[in-house]
Amino acid sequence: MKQKSKIPTVLIAPLDWGLGHATRCIPIIRIMIHNGWRVILAADGNTATLLKNEFPELLLVALKGYNIHYSTKKWMLPFTILLQVPKILSAIKNEHRWLQNTIDIHQIDLVVSDNRYGLHSSKIHAVFITHQLTIKMPFGWLERWVQKTNYNYIQQFSQCWIPDFEGANNIAGVLSHPKTLPNIPTKYIGPLSRFIKKEAVDFQYTFCILLSGPEPQRTILEKIILKDITTLNEKIILVRGKPNATETLSSTDKVTIYNHLSGEALNSVIQASEYTISRSGYTTLMELLYLQKKAILIPTPAQTEQEYLAEKLCQQQWCHVVPQHQFNIQSAIDEAKQFQYQLPEINNETLSYTILKLIQQLSN
**CA angle, 240 as apex, 236 and 241 as ends, to 5°?**
135
The tens digit of pLDDT for each residue in 14-36 reads 998 778 899 999 999 999 999 99
- Residue 1's pLDDT band, with cuts at 50, 70 and 90, is very low
The tens digit of pLDDT for each residue in 155-174 reads 999 999 999 998 888 999 99
Mean local confidence (pLDDT), 103-111: 96
The tens digit of pLDDT for each residue in 38-60 reads 999 999 998 999 999 999 999 99
Tally of CB atoms within 10 A around 300: 25
CATH number for the domain whose boundaries are 205-338:
3.40.50.2000
Considering only CA atoms, which of 281, 148, 158 is closest in space to residue 210? Answer: 281
- Highest mean pLDDT: which of 131-140, 224-233, 314-323, 354-363? 314-323
Q: Is the dihedral of CA 173, 174, 178, 184 positive or negative?
A: negative
The predicted pLDDT at position 79 comes to 60
The answer to whether the CB of 178 falls within 8 A of the CB of 172 is no
Considering only CA atoms, which of 98, 89, 96 is closest in space to residue 118? Answer: 96
Mean local confidence (pLDDT), 69-78: 57
The predicted pLDDT at position 216 comes to 84
Q: Where are the alpha helices (DSSP H) in the chain?
A: 20-23, 26-34, 45-54, 77-83, 85-106, 140-154, 217-229, 263-271, 282-290, 304-315, 329-338, 350-363
Distances (CA, A) of 222 to 19, 227, 238, 298, 310: 17, 9, 10, 12, 19
Mean local confidence (pLDDT), 94-120: 96
The predicted pLDDT at position 81 comes to 64
The answer to whether the CB of 135 falls within 8 A of the CB of 151 is no
pLDDT value at 338 more than 70: yes
Q: Packing angle between helix 26-34 and helix 350-363, nearest 10 degrees?
A: 50
The answer to whether the CB of 270 falls within 8 A of the CB of 276 is yes
Burial class of residue 301 in the structure, from the number of CB atoms within 10 Å of its CB (0-12 exposed, 13-18 middle, 19+ buried): buried
Mean local confidence (pLDDT), 303-315: 92
The answer to whether the CB of 247 falls within 8 A of the CB of 254 is no
CATH 3.40.50.2000 in the chain is located at 9-191+348-363, 205-338
pLDDT value at 363 more than 90: no
Quote the CA–CA distance of 347 and 197 in Å, as a whole number. 10
Assigned CATH topology for domain 9-191+348-363: Rossmann fold (3.40.50)
- The rounded mean pLDDT for the chain is 89
pLDDT value at 142 more than 80: no
The answer to whether the CB of 149 falls within 8 A of the CB of 88 is no
Mean local confidence (pLDDT), 213-219: 83
For the chain, give the number of residues: 364
Considering only CA atoms, which of 59, 306, 335 is closest in space to residue 172? Answer: 306
Residues of the chain with pLDDT > 90: what percent?
63
Considering only CA atoms, which of 203, 148, 191 is closest in space to residue 27? Answer: 191
- The half-sphere exposure of 153 on its side-chain side, counting CA atoms within 13 A, is 22
Task: Give the list of residues 6+ apart from residue 264 with CB closer than 8 angstroms, or none.
Answer: none
